[in-house]
Amino acid sequence: MNAILGPPTLYHVLFESIQFDSPEEVVQRVIYNLRGPAEQAKKARRALSYLLSTIILLGKLDLLKALSDPMLQYGVPVIGTAVKEAATLPFEKATFCLKVLFTLGWDVNQALSNTQPPVLSAALHDASLTHWLLEMGADPNATTDIDCTPLSIAVSRFDFQIVHLLLEHAHQSRNGHLVYYATQRTDPDESVTMIRLLHLYDKPIDEILYQDPKSYRLRAPFLRGTPLYYACVKDRMSVALALVELGADPDKACQRYNESVGPTPRQVAANLGWTLFERKALRFLNLLTVGQ
């Protein structure tokens, strides 16, 4: 039996209008719905918020600009997906869209979501856009509910040139679990180089993850270790050696809540069966005990 389809939702009506109508016609339709009864206006604001990313994806920049005044007038909120979509565009289009979105009330240091850092993190592929956002006041240390920052994203996978740029704007902040994110780079040699760079900037080498109040509320029940622990878990001996050389404690146990429950990095390394040949260097740095 064929399903009986109901009338299209306001979202789908506006979606089709955005695709096929002129900017003037879309604006008229939007204003008509925003001026409607309270429930209709609420649905229109919500639909338009979610359609901003579609407008940007379709490259309808003239429509985005035309909608900015009614959106401001009727309090249509911007959501992170639209901002993230704007940051993927070529520089000129990206800055055009972002200026409009900032005018509509989006703060340059507002997280894209609970776990996605602000828009600077979505622009790191483009050095020009990164510079522009920094000039607009973007903070490399602006964080999320799990203390992930644009600088965290940069050290995990982007060019060293971009990381240097952000570090110069990061001041003395010690948040973002930067050394942990450095251990996650694809190339272990790059991880080691990045960790040494972060050490020069006095970034924490041996902290248990998610100790700040906001992250702790979300992550306290889960096993949390130091960057050295995660390097050992990933079987990255060169990264582990670099961390121990810089002062990381091989006996610092993982935690749940504020209780040390293990394992320690030393235990993980032993369980991995790192060979006697390799242990010569490890004993020198006290990662494994003599005779294990």
Per DSSP, 220 falls in state T
pLDDT digits (tens, 9 = 90+) for 120-156: 999 999 999 999 999 999 999 999 999 999 999 999 9
Q: What is the signed CA dihedral for 49, 52, 54, 59, rounded to 10 degrees? A: 170
* Domain ranges, ordered by start, for the chain: 1-106
Q: How confident is the model at residue 4 (pLDDT cuts 50, 70, 90)?
A: low
Mean pLDDT of 173-177: 89
pLDDT digits (tens, 9 = 90+) for 60-114: 999 999 999 999 999 999 999 999 999 999 999 999 999 999 999 999 999 999 9
Of 37, 36, 35, 29, nearest to 11 by C-alpha is 29
| Predicted TM-score of the model (pTM) | 0.90
Mean pLDDT of 163-185: 93
- The set of long-range contacts for 168-172, using a CB threshold of 8 Å and a minimum separation of 24, is 169/134, 169/139, 169/140, 170/140, 170/141, 170/201, 171/141, 172/202
pLDDT of residue 288: 56
Integer-rounded Cα radius of gyration of the chain? 24
What are the residues whose beta carbons fall under 8 Å from the beta carbon of 246, sequence distance 6 or more?
Answer: 195, 196, 199, 205
What are the residues whose beta carbons fall under 8 Å from the beta carbon of 187, sequence distance 6 or more?
Answer: none
Of 43, 47, 42, nearest to 16 by C-alpha is 47
pLDDT digits (tens, 9 = 90+) for 215-263: 999 999 999 999 999 999 999 999 999 999 899 999 999 999 999 998 9
Q: How many CB atoms neighbour CB 222 within 10 A?
A: 12
Measured between alpha carbons, how far is 87 from 97 in angstroms, rounded to an integer?
8
